[in-house]
Structure 1
Amino acid sequence: MSATPSLARILINLAAFQAGWFACVLGGAHQLPWLGVGVVALVAALHLTTTPERGSEARLLVLIAVMGALWDGLLARFGFLVYPSGMLLPWLAPVWIIAIWVAFATTLNVSLAWLQGRWYLAFTIGALGAPLAYYAGAKLGGVHFPDPVVALAVLGGGWSFLMPASLAIAARFARTAAERDTPEGPINSEGADA
């Protein structure tokens, strides 16, 4: 894995994520779904210009965005969540939710890097923290739960897997980038005689 991020980078990363989250939720709630997408584009650009592993981090952002688009789209499709704006396809999350996933991905190797390898803690934070975030989004008008208890339970169950999985994917991408950047490159499994 890459070097531990500095405190300044962690704080900037957290602030950028929060700005993106609020822009997405409030934009979605007020029929301005592309507002949050624009803010998160700036968050992602900031992230990619401050990381030495631009290529692997860009791939990570895309992969996590696809994962989130499908997960939240599935929840909307089956009626657990109702979004007020930004739905382009009935089986895909709204554009501003996908943007939140991109913003979330920017934290995985920076402000959430300390959770990598702490799978029980990641499981617990996913199970409890994600439903709280969606509940806060609902209070701001970004999402509606037809049945709040069921929706929050499904979110907690899903995120108890999604948080550790996202962290594991991020750690893998960071490890792969670090191996590629070493002077020797990746270790040749066939030995020197190959």
Structure 2
Amino acid sequence: MILELNDVLTENESHTLSFMASSGELMCITGGTAASRTRWLLAIQGFSHISHGYVCIDGEPLTERTAQSFRELMAYAPERLTTLGEVTKYEPPTVQDVFSLKANRDIPISNGILGEEMRRTGADVSDGRVQLLAVAVLLDKKILLVDNPPKETSGYLKNLAKQGKVVVVTSDEDEIISAADQVVEI
């Protein structure tokens, strides 16, 4: 599987981004602000308007018609969740959003399985980002998008990529950047 961004320009950005990430690769988007890096992950999912260029998976372009089928191939671990009612335009999903999706309801994620996956990350399990990452991994999608993961998860993320996933992360942590197969600076 290949995820490609070609000369993509999104809202609130002044420059384009291009990369190709293949199954088995850990890709890191770095530089800029955390909000800017998050917007790129949202654009990959079709949640942020693309004014120039294109996103495609295996040559199929992201359009309004294909956005939902693209999202079904992806798991997204936001840096944080928002509470219900706080969202005025698309931001990271609410807890209710994550578990209301039919695809997510069909996957049994018990506290024991979640706790075990959280320990595998190698990071402090009290960090909320670790729980979000573990939930995304347990959804077992072909593409994993991770917004600002803890630096201790670099080896864990690299192993997920080696298992055949396309893993795209945003980070300015040296450990994550050095573990990446590709690094794109914005």
Under a length normalisation based on structure 1, what TM-score does the superposition of the two structures give? 0.27
When you count helix as a share of all residues, which structure comes out higher? 1
When you count strand as a share of all residues, which structure comes out higher? 2
- Tell me: higher relative CO, structure 1 or 2? Use CA pairs within 8 A at least 6 residues apart: 2
